[in-house]
Chains A and B, each alone.
Chain A
Amino acid sequence: MSGSADSSFIIHTSSVLLTMPLIDLQCHFGVRPGALAVRPPELAAASTYADESGVETLCFASDEATTDLDGGNIRLANALGGDARFRGWLTLSVHQPDASQTIARGCLTRSRWVGARFDQANDNDAVSAAGGPTVLNALRRYGRPVLLTVNSPVTLHAAIQAAREFTTLRFLLAPQNEETSSDALPAMKETINTLLLPSAAYSERDLLAQAIATLGERRVLWCSNWGRLHPTAALGMLADSAVNKLQRDRIAHRNARDLLTDSD
């Protein structure tokens, strides 16, 4: 292969991105049980990615913590010390409300942690489940954002209902399939304390432009899902979107900076 094809792509994306600071709001630490055929990259590679792509802050979540609440979060906390740009999402569970509140008390006053994350992997994990409101109620005192993955109409609805009930919290909704990505926009529209955190793996074109048209440019965020996805996938989504330079800057940096600043 000649180098020309590579170069044309780099020029295509770099014209948009190289001058742009980035805040990567969701990266993944450790093994992902659903994709064991591919080993996750070493954390040192995240620093290299940050250096090369101009990423100011990388916010990691631990898949292990969805199974081992204590151990997973502790191992993530230890890993976060490796680079001053690393911060973490504290994984909590609606199925373990007491343990979740204890862990939140010990962590969410520390700047290392961005906020709380709930993996709504299936309908049984919806934040509307028995322990969900209890944990969310306890999170109000920290004022940190809450990241919710959404996999289905049920978990999307639960996320919206939670945002309507706990209006002082900001909820980042991270769709985990194409249908939910598309359905999230009209569902989120009127609930102004919800923000969209789309994944390049589940975003059809042009979700970013549609999100800005529906939610406004202050409610759309960006992440690479580093650890699960090659970051060029999410950078490509940003580059290909029909949004203007200011909107792109808001998605990639300013909205996240405001979110992180407000929660510190």
Chain B
Amino acid sequence: MAIPIFDACTLFGPWPQHEVDLSVESLLANMAQSGITRSLATATIGIFHDYRQGNIETLQAAKANPQQLFPVATLDPRAYPECLDEAEARAGEGFRLFRFFPERQCWPIRFAPFRELLQKCDSLGIPVAVTVGDAGDISALAGEVTFTQAPLLLAGVTPSNLGEALAVMKSDTKFYLETTALLSPGALEAVRDIVPSGAERLVFASYSPLRYLSTALGPVLASGLSEDDKALVLGGNLRRLLTKPVTNDE
């Protein structure tokens, strides 16, 4: 029996940087071609233009394709304090994860509205994913979430800031790590070996159809992880992360 791959990040909608077909149809075709059974989907309009409109479109796409797409909301702390209400409303509608794109939206990790929004997400028990591409971002984020409990997914980590991710993940078990940009040989193995329960904290995310799906998938499948660990990375960890009850003893 083939393992069902569960993708932590897919996108649909317009992409301002260049011409690319990011329609829902393209996303679904891409998933089917590569054996991705389910994915967490986000509307790009919510990243670049209006997060509320994006969340509406995401919910519509997920309702139209309930077997394949789970909705992920974008929250934009620049819309404080309204973003706090948006978080509460979207949590009630079944959104499974909240994503933040500080680098695309040009706001810093150390940002009072973001700090309050993270606390709100934590109180709602919804995991969050934050893009942390620059040196210092992960450390700054760790400082902002010292007292939260909900799982936190580090997105956009590359071999250049992997060391910083390893240091934070070693000391705080709520951090998880997307595999998308960890394309270097040995990167996934380093997480497995250095971080407590490392293989259980890696989450496959392709960002397809914006990115080549096989580019993200190949290094996971060809890595030195065991077959059981690969199954966790390709879906098991994400499934557990989304259903994990938030408790104070973590």
Flag if B209 contacts A1 (CB, 8 Å).
no
**Interface membership of chain A positions 44-69, coded 1 if the CB is closer than 8 angstroms to chain B and 0 otherwise:** 01000000000000000000000000
Indicate the size class of the contact surface on chain B.
35 or more
Whether B158 contacts A3 by the Cβ 8 Å rule is no
| Inter-chain contacts of A229 with B (CB < 8 A) | 183-185, 219
Asked whether, in the complex, the Cβ of B184 is within 8 Å of the Cβ of A35, the reply is: yes
B246 in the interface (beta carbon within 8 A) = no
Tell which of B34, B181, B210, B234 has the most Cβ of chain A within 10 Å.
B34
- Chain B residue numbers with a CB within 8 Å of A232 are 214, 218-219, 221-222
Max count, chain B CB within 10 A of own CB: residue among A32, A35, A36, A234:
A35
Task: Give chain A interface residues in 1-48, CB to chain B under 8 Å.
Answer: 1-6, 8-9, 12-13, 32, 34-41, 45
Query: Which residue among A4, A36, A233 has the maximum number of chain B CB atoms within 10 Å of its CB?
Result: A233
> Which residues in B have their C-beta under 8 angstroms from that of A36?
163
Majority SS at the chain A contact face? helix
Contacts of A37 in B (CB 8 A): 159, 162-163, 166, 187, 190
Q: Chain B residues near A13: list those with CB within 8 A.
A: 214, 218
B148 CB-CB contact with A under 8 Å: no
Name the distance in Å between A181's Cβ and chain B's nearest Cβ. Answer: 9
Q: For the complex, is B155 an interface residue (Cβ under 8 Å from A)?
A: no
Mark contacts of A199-215 with chain B using CB atoms, 8 A cut-off: 1 yes-contact digit, 0 otherwise: 01101111000100000
- Set of chain B residues within 8 Å of A236, measured between Cβ atoms: 212-218
Q: For the complex formed, measure the closest distance between the CB of A173 and the CB atoms of chain B, giving whole angstroms.
A: 17
Which residue in chain B gives the minimum CB-CB distance to A45? B185
Nearest chain A CB to B41's CB is how many angstroms away?
16
Q: Do A234 and B185 touch (CB < 8 A)? A: no
Mind listing 13 A-B residue pairs with CB under 8 Å?
A1-B228, A1-B234, A2-B227, A6-B227, A35-B184, A37-B166, A41-B185, A203-B212, A204-B210, A205-B208, A205-B211, A230-B184, A230-B219
3 closest residue pairs by CB, A with B: A236-B214, A232-B218, A1-B231
Taking A5-B234, A37-B190 as given, write out 18 further A-B residue pairs in contact, using a Cβ cutoff of 8 Å, ordered by the A residue number: A1-B234, A3-B227, A6-B230, A8-B35, A12-B34, A35-B160, A37-B163, A179-B17, A201-B181, A204-B210, A205-B211, A229-B183, A229-B184, A233-B215, A234-B215, A235-B218, A236-B215, A240-B214
Hey, which bits of chain B sit against chain A, CB under 8 A? 1-3, 5, 17-20, 33-35, 158-160, 162-163, 166, 181, 183-187, 190, 208-219, 221-223, 227-228, 230-231, 234
